[in-house]
Chain A
């Protein structure tokens, strides 16, 4: 039987506010336990939440970025359950009336196919604290530094049909939240966590199969593996005559499998009701306008512009709009050099390789956009060959300076004087008569030998095109 996979994702992204969503405590990661938890975060008696305006502003930016409806009126609700790292015994979230309504995200797969994934909603909520089981013999430590950290939970439609699509969607959302500056997206620190709802059904069936929810996956690779495992598990189960139960599962990367965490029957009844401590959030046009006023050009629009304005291929345009800093770097190099395709090649090739090797982000690149543009200008005007350019790049990377300076100091300027190249060729022909005879007898491979000799003796500076042309003339003469 042919099976179809159906996936929906819930993504919790931590909003990049200075303080918590309902208190003034810092949201900085990594502080000593319970040093960033005030009376409100601790849920002491008599304390009250006050909504952080910045969290609302960031949610509005996201809504705009995915072309979603923004709710004029959204309502905070209490999600009631007991857990030691949930100080109030309830989480303040949004339930019936989320701030961001239906939107959409476009994904492009490696095979070039484009899919639109629906976003059902995105709502604001507070994070819980952390339970630390490892360090305390026989008991559990509670760290409430994270309690009250603002989250935007982004819920997709069940629109994805493969692990690859799910990963592409998650990556796209990750790209957007970082691009528009609402989250640092740091997955190791838990700033971007993904829950996947996975089900399978016979191809052609319109109703959904029973789904399992895989909780808190914190890398794209694990997301792909977890979904792949889960899909196989469900198909095997059904094929063997079993039934999928609705449940929450955890992905264990060490064993590369998902395991039951809790079955739905045992799940909590969260007893949601509107939080009487908080007024509904009323968004007015002026607030929205101010929130989105400095929204940058979005990656999709920029990608299309790069293709149109700079004649970039799909692949390059995608690659260069993966992040905002990278895109800005590219534009600076493209404009500074006047050679966008060369700029794209250099950034995607030499620069990325060097950055990866040193474990650096584009923002920390030792070779600036200006420096790279200067180098590309010299390739473009024939001052140096592509091969020499790599040598110049290395000098710029290690010692700084600008391309012209390096070229001058190291005498790397390309030899384009055909007289000089001719006399070099003449002396090489004279010294290698055996090879000349071979070539003339039809052994064309020997041509490479001559090119190599010329380049070697010119220390790579001879213009390769001229070397080719002149060699052919002279050998056949």
Chain B
């Protein structure tokens, strides 16, 4: 059952080949078997999953229920779930149970999805390897000595190991796409504002965006369909209609203009990864697409800009975790300052503390103009690069990540090397554009992701590109050894 697409599972459920309870139990058993080694889940919600599945079976019997009725999924532990712990991968929120559901959680529940649990992640989504989690690193199912990528590493590993049908992720600088690439799954970061941020714990508010992580484009389309849409509780969510993503999957790609930014194929890119990307591009050419080299001249600035903007916002967003109302509080504080200092020093890990300090610094009097303001200006220039590019091409393609998954521990002592992992993904967040990672030919048995960036609200086109590639190739069908 765990090797099927959502459409196949939905048919099986409708035809009573199996019930949602059976399906859910099957995935819970897989989690019980594999999670101790993978560490992909922080919280497994067996009881509530089975009761939701039983409800779904009633709906199925009655011929009602949404498009995802009875399908077992998982949520990144950054989405608030009413009554179910939401830790955000941090000791700070180890005891936090939200009194509300995130909009994305609510919408997927309304579509009928069954929640198996909450997936592991880098602490407060700050990291590219899932090693900053208070709950320990997630292992890459393709090679358990390697990282799954991050910050949505738990979701990526869980989908890749088929511990759930699909999962939610969030992407601030590549946190859906990079782990999708490193774990060989399909993930899409929608246009900023496409999915509501209500109930999604903020890292960098102007960059954060939720999206689906799945085994294939068709599954991702079904999830995104349920997740996307305007939410009056999020002032930055956009009030524009959501197209029918499933209906658009199979569109003809003849005449599609693909831009390849020369900056994305330069030094730092593993040659074998480049070859996989080129092979995928050739497949698109076979389907009638044309390829042009383009330039995104400001893209080398995207990492430094990101590491000003994101920490600045996070330093403010994480100020609420002060030990006063909820979350971790130090023992026996002697006064207010002691309460703040020890609660935060104990509650936050090293990477989170590093970013809070960077962010505090760049917003400080005397440094604001030189860092924050300048970064915002460059952010506009980066968006302008894309605007000009999209006058010429329909989509931009390149590698999602410069290398395949690296060994656990390899970059933990070198934050800058870690940050450079997101060199190709960050720009889409800075510009607010949709971006996707699609599995292409692996290198030495390790997955490689093709990144496709589209114009605003062109999630449909990205899903179409992914779907058509997946119709002609089997790169997305690989399952890691031991998880088939």
Question: Inside 8 A of A87's CB, which chain B residues have their CB?
Answer: 320, 324-325
Question: Inside 8 A of A271's CB, which chain B residues have their CB?
Answer: 315-316, 360, 363-365, 368
Question: Inside 8 A of B230's CB, which chain A residues have their CB?
Answer: none
Look across to chain A and name the residue whose beta carbon is closest to the beta carbon of B102.
Answer: A46
A80 to B319, CA, bound (A): 8
Question: Inside 8 A of B368's CB, which chain A residues have their CB?
Answer: 271, 273
Interface residues of A in 392-451 (CB under 8 A from B): none
B320 partner, pick from A89, A269, A272, A273, beta carbons under 8 A: A89
Q: Do residues A42 and B325 form an inter-chain contact, with CB atoms below 8 A?
A: yes
Q: Mark A8-52, 1 if CB is under 8 A from B, else 0.
A: 000000000000000000000000000000010011111111110
Q: Do residues B363 and A47 form an inter-chain contact, with CB atoms below 8 A?
A: no
**Number of interchain pairs (Cβ within 8 Å):** 96
A48 partner, pick from B98, B234, B312, beta carbons under 8 A: B234
B248 at the A interface (CB under 8 A): no
Question: Inside 8 A of A43's CB, which chain B residues have their CB?
Answer: 320, 325
Q: Do residues A44 and B326 form an inter-chain contact, with CB atoms below 8 A?
A: yes
Q: Do residues A45 and B320 form an inter-chain contact, with CB atoms below 8 A?
A: yes
Q: Do residues B100 and A39 form an inter-chain contact, with CB atoms below 8 A?
A: yes
A49 to B233, CA, bound (A): 7
Question: Inside 8 A of A84's CB, which chain B residues have their CB?
Answer: 322, 324, 336
Look across to chain B and name the residue whose beta carbon is closest to the beta carbon of A270.
Answer: B365
A328 at the B interface (CB under 8 A): no
A325 at the B interface (CB under 8 A): no
Q: Do residues B319 and A50 form an inter-chain contact, with CB atoms below 8 A?
A: no
Q: Do residues A45 and B201 form an inter-chain contact, with CB atoms below 8 A?
A: yes
Question: How far apart are B193's CB and chain A's nearest CB, in angstroms?
Answer: 10
Q: Is the interface of A mostly helix, strand, loop or mixed?
A: loop
Q: Do residues A48 and B233 form an inter-chain contact, with CB atoms below 8 A?
A: yes
Q: Do residues B205 and A276 form an inter-chain contact, with CB atoms below 8 A?
A: yes
Q: Do residues A50 and B320 form an inter-chain contact, with CB atoms below 8 A?
A: no
A256 at the B interface (CB under 8 A): no
A48 to B196, CA, bound (A): 10
A78 at the B interface (CB under 8 A): yes
Question: Inside 8 A of A49's CB, which chain B residues have their CB?
Answer: 235
Question: Inside 8 A of B233's CB, which chain A residues have their CB?
Answer: 48, 50
Q: Do residues B205 and A50 form an inter-chain contact, with CB atoms below 8 A?
A: no
Q: Mark B190-211, 1 if CB is under 8 A from A, else 0.
A: 0000000111111011100000
Q: Do residues B320 and A46 form an inter-chain contact, with CB atoms below 8 A?
A: no
A171 to B316, CA, bound (A): 37
B96 at the A interface (CB under 8 A): yes
B23 at the A interface (CB under 8 A): no
Look across to chain A and name the residue whose beta carbon is closest to the beta carbon of B372.
Answer: A273
A299 to B263, CA, bound (A): 66
Question: Inside 8 A of B463's CB, which chain A residues have their CB?
Answer: none
A279 at the B interface (CB under 8 A): yes
Question: Inside 8 A of A47's CB, which chain B residues have their CB?
Answer: 198-199
A48 to B318, CA, bound (A): 14
A88 at the B interface (CB under 8 A): yes
Q: Do residues B236 and A279 form an inter-chain contact, with CB atoms below 8 A?
A: yes
B340 at the A interface (CB under 8 A): yes
Question: How far apart are A388's CB and chain B's nearest CB, in angstroms?
Answer: 65
B482 at the A interface (CB under 8 A): no
Q: List 25 A-B contacts (CB under 8 A).
A: A39-B99, A43-B325, A44-B100, A44-B326, A45-B201, A45-B202, A46-B102, A46-B197, A46-B200, A48-B198, A49-B235, A50-B232, A51-B235, A80-B316, A80-B319, A82-B322, A87-B320, A89-B316, A89-B320, A90-B316, A271-B315, A271-B363, A277-B202, A277-B205, A277-B236
Q: With contacts A45-B80, A48-B234, A277-B205 known, what are 13 further pairs, Cβ within 8 A? A: A45-B93, A46-B199, A46-B202, A50-B234, A50-B235, A82-B340, A269-B365, A271-B316, A271-B368, A272-B363, A273-B372, A277-B235, A279-B235
Nearest 10 A/B pairs, CB to CB: A89-B319, A271-B363, A276-B206, A276-B205, A46-B199, A43-B320, A45-B201, A46-B80, A269-B365, A46-B201
